């Protein structure tokens, strides 16, 4: 591990990452004008929304006009599933990626080759921020597939010219063996998996066999203490990478060695932090909902996409030299979504899945714990007369069935606990659906 006073900062694109605030605003304004022109008359959703607001592309003159534009929500994306938001002809689409582990329809995002290039470039900036260069070997244990984690880090490694080791998740023993044998110098995965790797490494006594110097972790919330623990065990530096599939994937933002907020690549993704009720911008440093506009994206440009993540923003120049705005570690959500082992979980998904088992939704409660640094989801289900059987094996079968239905719906293994009726606490007539014991905020 290198302390920040001995750290040599590398900046991949000083022009983009260190430009003055005015220069950046001018660039963002220019890109926003172009973006509005690209969607107006092409994407029905935005055309209708803008018409309803009496807006024409010419009304957007600079970035200061962004507040005039309509919002986009996850529900809007679902209603236009899968390709209703496309702003380019089919032949320009290079690939799709999607959200992981949700019931019913996925959130699917299309990319042109240029979108993939921009994405890779942003991840490459992050990898550089983590001190990595073309000489490094990056062990990626994010899942490869529709989920943006694996591919995103891979695209970044490619842009950087580094060697990517596409491991995907799971099989810790094999991960450690490859890490050691291939001489990996960095890894990327969820923080909880990083913690697991760290402990497995310590247990196997192989920490000193490794050449790892940096960990790039994200896709779920984690604490500063957890980062320090991983850093201490593996003797490395860890960084918090952020992104979401709707906006591009990992690489939208990352913290630098000083860990004073996550640098947003604001030449491509314009961040706003808005008051939760008025939707007006909050003051610098105040908490609000993070909203992104994709300034460069071609295939599916999104205007003012509401992430529902709560954060604050800081426009001061960082000690690392970057002028990019920094968002704080998330302070919660505006909805009841939980991130469990990197998977987004809404209590309503559990409800829908349980509905598939009986005609009536039983009372249920999600309990999220962190055991040995891995998230564990327990779902308590009240047994009612409809579900109850006199035979243990039938009750066991019921429990297993609920487990498999939930695993399928959430993309996450779940512990199911059958409990007596009325043991799940109701508050004001409405049942409490989630207890998160992880203390991540």
Distance CA 146, CA 143 (A): 9
Choose which of 379, 383, 410, 440 interacts with another protein (CB under 8 A).
Answer: 383
Nearest approach, Cβ of 420 to another protein (angstroms)?
5
Residue 350 makes contact with another protein by CB under 8 A: no
Residue 392 makes contact with another protein by CB under 8 A: yes
Tokens of residue 381, six digits:
């289900």
The CA–CA distances, whole Å, from 18 to 22, 62, 64, 267 equal 12, 21, 21, 11
Among the listed residues 74, 2, 69, the one whose alpha carbon sits nearest the alpha carbon of residue 39: 69
Instruction: Give burial (CB, 10 Å; 0-12/13-18/19+) of 34.
Output: middle
The CA–CA distances, whole Å, from 20 to 25, 101, 384 equal 9, 40, 63
Residue 396 makes contact with another protein by CB under 8 A: yes
Residue 391 makes contact with another protein by CB under 8 A: yes
Please choose, out of 23-31, 67-75, 206-214, 412-420, the segment that lies near another protein by the rule CB under 8 A. Answer: 412-420
Nearest approach, Cβ of 414 to another protein (angstroms)?
14
Q: Are 139 and 186 in contact (CB under 8 A)?
A: yes
Please choose, out of 90-98, 241-249, 255-263, 391-399, the segment that lies near another protein by the rule CB under 8 A. Answer: 391-399
Residue 388 makes contact with another protein by CB under 8 A: yes
Residues 101-120 that bind another protein (CB under 8 A): none
Estimate to the nearest angstrom the gap between the alpha carbon of 111 and the chain centroid.
17
Residue 359 makes contact with another protein by CB under 8 A: no
Nearest approach, Cβ of 437 to another protein (angstroms)?
19
Tokens of residue 81, six digits:
């599933």
Choose which of 163, 282, 418, 424 interacts with another protein (CB under 8 A).
Answer: 418
Quick one: 105 or 422, whose CB is closer to another protein?
422
Nearest approach, Cβ of 405 to another protein (angstroms)?
18
Q: Quickly count: other Cβ atoms within 10 Å of residue 427's Cβ.
A: 7
Quick one: 286 or 396, whose CB is closer to another protein?
396
Choose which of 90, 420, 429, 430 interacts with another protein (CB under 8 A).
Answer: 420
Residue 423 makes contact with another protein by CB under 8 A: yes
Residue 129 makes contact with another protein by CB under 8 A: no
Residue 9 makes contact with another protein by CB under 8 A: no
- Scanning the structure block, which residue is given the tokens 């979504």? 337
Q: How many residues bind another protein (CB under 8 A)?
A: 18
Q: Are 299 and 108 in contact (CB under 8 A)?
A: no
Choose which of 51, 61, 417, 426 interacts with another protein (CB under 8 A).
Answer: 417
Distance CA 366, CA 109 (A): 29
The CA–CA distances, whole Å, from 178 to 160, 174, 202, 210, 339 equal 21, 6, 16, 10, 28
Please choose, out of 114-122, 260-268, 352-360, 420-428, the segment that lies near another protein by the rule CB under 8 A. Answer: 420-428
Q: Which residues bind another protein (CB under 8 A)?
A: 383-385, 387-392, 395-396, 417-423
């Amino acid at each position: 591990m290198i302390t920040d006073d001995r750290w040599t900062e590398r900046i991949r694109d000083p022009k983009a990452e260190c430009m003055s605030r005015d220069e950046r605003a001018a660039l963002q304004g220019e890109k926003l004008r172009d973006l509005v022109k690209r969607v107006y008359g092409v994407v029905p959703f935005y055309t209708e929304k803008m018409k309803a607001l009496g807006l024409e592309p010419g009304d957007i003159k600079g970035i200061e006009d962004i507040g005039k534009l309509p919002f986009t929500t996850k529900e809007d994306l679902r209603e236009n599933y899968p390709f209703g938001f496309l702003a380019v002809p089919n032949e320009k689409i290079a690939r799709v990626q999607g959200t992981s582990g949700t019931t019913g329809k996925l959130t699917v995002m299309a990319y042109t080759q240029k979108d993939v290039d921009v994405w890779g470039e942003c991840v490459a900036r992050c990898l550089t921020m983590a001190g990595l260069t073309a000489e490094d070997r990056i062990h990626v244990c994010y899942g490869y597939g529709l989920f943006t984690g694996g591919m995103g880090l891979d695209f970044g490694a490619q842009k950087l010219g580094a060697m990517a080791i596409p491991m995907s998740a799971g099989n810790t023993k094999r991960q450690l063996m490859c890490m050691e044998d291939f001489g990996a110098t960095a890894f990327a995965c969820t923080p909880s998996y990083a913690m697991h790797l760290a402990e497995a490494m310590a247990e196997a006594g192989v920490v000193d066999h490794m050449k790892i110097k940096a960990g790039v972790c994200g896709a779920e919330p984690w604490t500063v203490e957890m980062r320090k623990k991983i850093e201490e065990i593996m003797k490395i530096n860890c960084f918090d990478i952020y992104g979401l599939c709707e906006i591009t994937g990992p690489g939208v933002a990352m913290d630098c060695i000083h860990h004073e907020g996550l640098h947003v690549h604001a030449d491509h993704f314009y961040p706003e932090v808005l008051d939760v009720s008025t939707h007006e911008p909050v003051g610098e440093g105040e908490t609000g909902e993070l909203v992104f506009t994709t300034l460069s994206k071609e295939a599916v440009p999104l205007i003012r996409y509401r992430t529902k993540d709560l954060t604050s923003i800081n426009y001061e120049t960082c000690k690392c030299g970057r002028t990019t705005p920094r968002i704080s570690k998330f302070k919660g959500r505006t909805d009841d979504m939980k991130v469990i082992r990197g998977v987004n979980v809404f209590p309503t998904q559990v409800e829908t899945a349980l509905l598939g088992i009986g005609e009536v939704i039983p009372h249920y409660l999600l309990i999220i714990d962190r055991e040995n640094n891995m998230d564990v989801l327990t779902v308590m289900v009240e047994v009612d007369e409809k579900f109850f059987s006199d035979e243990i094996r039938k009750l066991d079968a019921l429990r297993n069935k609920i487990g498999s239905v939930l695993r399928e719906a959430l993309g996450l293994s779940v512990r199911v606990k059958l409990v007596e009726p009325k043991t799940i606490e109701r508050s004001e007539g409405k049942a409490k659906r989630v207890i998160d014991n992880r203390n991540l905020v």
